[in-house]
């Protein structure tokens, strides 16, 4: 059984002291590849060092909306060309209405995301989307409208915490939805699992966050907890689910070497 953790921040300081052990546990659990999205150019440069040591950890170049500012955006736009051979996707990028609330900052976040989408459309790279709704603003609705406007075909909504209606809208756009490990201890979200066809689903840990085991630092090996949950909810064999979800990640990120 082969699994892909489609979103783990292994370049974060949370893993600086024991990354060797984390990778080994992931391998023993059947994880054959890990996508390492980044939140800034500084984070991306750390991710490149991780990828150099661990060939099956693949970096994505991102700029998280909750920290976005003019100087970071300039660095990010420059890095897109400077490192164009070194990332498999753009992300994480998107809209966050929980942390960004001031009108001017919200507007800058929106305009920055539009700029990023223009580049993504030209690059034809997959996009890893950060969407967080809050304060009566639905990030999924606004992002979907922008994806349609900029003709973005290859994208995944990471760590999905939206509604049934959001699921339906994403599926109409033929994008992927990634389920995080925190679902294991969030029974209120289990209904979503049956709403997402397996051929449009990815799985992720979002390490070191959103752990399946309360009070623990999350890590890629915990992805097996989520696989077991999906199997229980759907009634489908774990091996069959693993095959479909791994194929989805391979197709989206063009990970030709994994099989």
Report the mean per-residue pLDDT for the chain.
97
- The band of 104, judged by pLDDT with boundaries at 50, 70 and 90, is very high
The model's pLDDT over 137-156, given as tens digits with 9 standing for 90+, comes to 999 999 999 999 999 999 99
Record the tokens describing residue 184, joined without a space.
């294991």
pTM higher than 0.95 for the full model? Answer: yes
Asked whether residue 256 carries a pLDDT value surpassing 80, the answer given is no
- In this prediction, residue 258 carries a pLDDT of 65
Q: Which long-range contacts (CB under 8 A, 24 or more apart) does 186-190 make?
A: 189/161, 190/229, 190/233
- In this prediction, residue 257 carries a pLDDT of 64
The three-state (H, E, C) secondary structure of the chain, written as one string: CCEEECCECCCCHHHCCCHHHHHHHHHHCCEEEEEECCCCHHHHHHHHHHHHHCCCEEECECCCHHHCCHHHHHHHHHHHHHCCCCCCCEEEEEEECCCCCCHHHHHHHHHHHHHHHHHHHHHCCCEEEEEECECCECHHHHHHHHHHHCCCCCEEECCCCCCHHHHHHHHHCCCEEEEEHHHHHCHHHHHHHHHCCHHHEEEECCECCCCCCCCCCCCHHHHHHHHHHHHHHHCCCHHHHHHHHHHHHHHHHCCCCCC
Could you tell me what percent of the chain has a pLDDT over 70? 99
Mean pLDDT along residues 101-130: 97
- The band of 259, judged by pLDDT with boundaries at 50, 70 and 90, is low
Domains, the chain, with CATH or none: 3-253 (3.20.20.140)
Mean pLDDT along residues 14-33: 98
């Amino acid at each position: 059984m082969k699994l892909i953790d489609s979103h783990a921040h292994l370049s974060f300081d949370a893993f600086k002291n024991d990354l060797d052990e984390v990778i080994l546990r992931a391998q023993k659990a059947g994880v054959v590849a890990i996508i390492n999205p980044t939140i800034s150019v500084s984070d991306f440069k750390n991710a490149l060092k991780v990828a150099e040591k661990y060939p099956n950890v693949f970096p994505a170049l991102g700029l998280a909306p909750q920290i976005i500012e003019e100087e970071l955006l300039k660095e990010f736009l420059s890095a897109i060309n400077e490192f164009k051979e070194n990332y498999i996707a753009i992300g994480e990028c998107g809209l966050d209405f929980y942390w960004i609330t001031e009108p001017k900052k919200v507007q800058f976040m929106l305009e920055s995301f539009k700029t990023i989408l223009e580049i993504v459309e030209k690059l034809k790279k997959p996009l890893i989307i950060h969407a967080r709704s809050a304060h009566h603003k639905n990030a999924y609705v606004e992002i979907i409208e922008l994806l349609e406007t900029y003709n973005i075909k290859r994208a995944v909504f990471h760590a999905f915490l939206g509604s049934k209606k959001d699921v339906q809208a994403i599926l109409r756009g033929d994008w992927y939805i990634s389920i995080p490990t925190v679902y294991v201890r969030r029974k209120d979200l289990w209904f979503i699992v049956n709403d997402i066809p397996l051929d449009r689903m990815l799985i992720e840990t979002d390490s070191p966050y959103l752990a399946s085991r309360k009070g623990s630092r999350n890590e890629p090996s915990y992805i097996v907890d989520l696989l077991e949950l999906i199997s229980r909810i759907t009634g489908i064999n774990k091996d069959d689910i693993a095959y479909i979800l791994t194929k989805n990640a391979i197709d989206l990120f063009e990970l030709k070497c994994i099989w």
